[in-house]
Structure 1
């Protein structure tokens, strides 16, 4: 039911196929897991198919090892008219104990779309707790920063390809 499930956690084991040349799980695998969790969270909140329009501020804090239990937590931290800002924390650790350490975190923005692929309205999320208000306010500040970064990045785009 749309507007009810604000967060989700995906759990799985890091596999040998996820390893980079340095013997740790490679960043591309982690980014795929982040995108999957963001989609599941956004679809659950909006009740609609959702597409990734932005992933940013990705911080790889610690490596993930093969055999680690990985938990990718995704939570709605702000909603616009058609967009959902999803806060992502990736935690990992030995599956034989309960301790998980933060390995990666970021923000992903998803947009709900209709059957024709056009943006469509999502339920509003209203923060209640002090912690949620801080998350929402942070999302708003990050939006303003992205506008400035986008304008700056435009200088790096070569006209005509």
Structure 2
């Protein structure tokens, strides 16, 4: 690939097997779609196989119904040495009306690895637009917040 691909949109139709006991699409199905989009985005950026290192800040805003057209938009908002922070937005609509509404959002961190599973360097992403700069700055703030959370979570880890 000559130019890294910064973003991608995957589209799915919500199917009956995706539904939970409440009749809406199961959060686990949405999380699977998020992971697929994060992988496709990070692989497109890095040109490498990538693994999920973190998924957080997931916010389920509105339900998805069977038959809805679901769009999972993923874009790189920060790169480290081998990691890529991917902002995810999930939208859904009735395919007959195409009136999209946001249903879910989160951040996923993917890591590029080589054939041995070792971390490998990824191309650096440089924000250009005002929106890019804001999202990049937010990714950096979230990294600091995750560090604090990791330190607090030590109490729950087996020693």
Q: Which bin holds the TM-score, normalised by the shorter protein? A: over 0.9
Question: Displacement of 1:3 after TM fit?
Answer: 4.8
Q: State whether structure 2 residue 98 is matched by structure 1 residue 103.
A: no
TM-score by length of 2: 0.98
Q: Which residue of 2 aligns with 1:49?
A: 49
The runs of at least 4 consecutive aligned structure 1 residues that moved more than 4 Å come to: none
Q: Which residue of 1 aligns with 2:131?
A: 131
Q: Which residue of 1 aligns with 2:7?
A: 7
- Deviation track 1:6-28 (CA, whole Å, cap 9, x = no partner) reads 00000010000000000000100
Q: Which residue of 2 aligns with 1:151?
A: 151
Query: Number of paired residues?
Result: 159
Question: Displacement of 1:97 after TM fit?
Answer: 1.7
In structure 2, runs of 5+ residues without a counterpart are: none
Q: How does 1:41-80 map to 2 (within 5 A)?
A: 41-80=41-80
Question: Displacement of 1:4 after TM fit?
Answer: 2.3
In structure 1, runs of 5+ residues without a counterpart are: none
TM-score by length of 1: 0.97
SS at match of 1:104: strand
Distance 2:61 2:87 in 1: 16
Q: Which residue of 1 aligns with 2:87?
A: 87
Q: Which residue of 1 aligns with 2:115?
A: 115
Distance 1:157 1:2 in 2: 43
Question: Displacement of 1:158 after TM fit?
Answer: 2.8
Q: Which residue of 2 aligns with 1:36?
A: 36
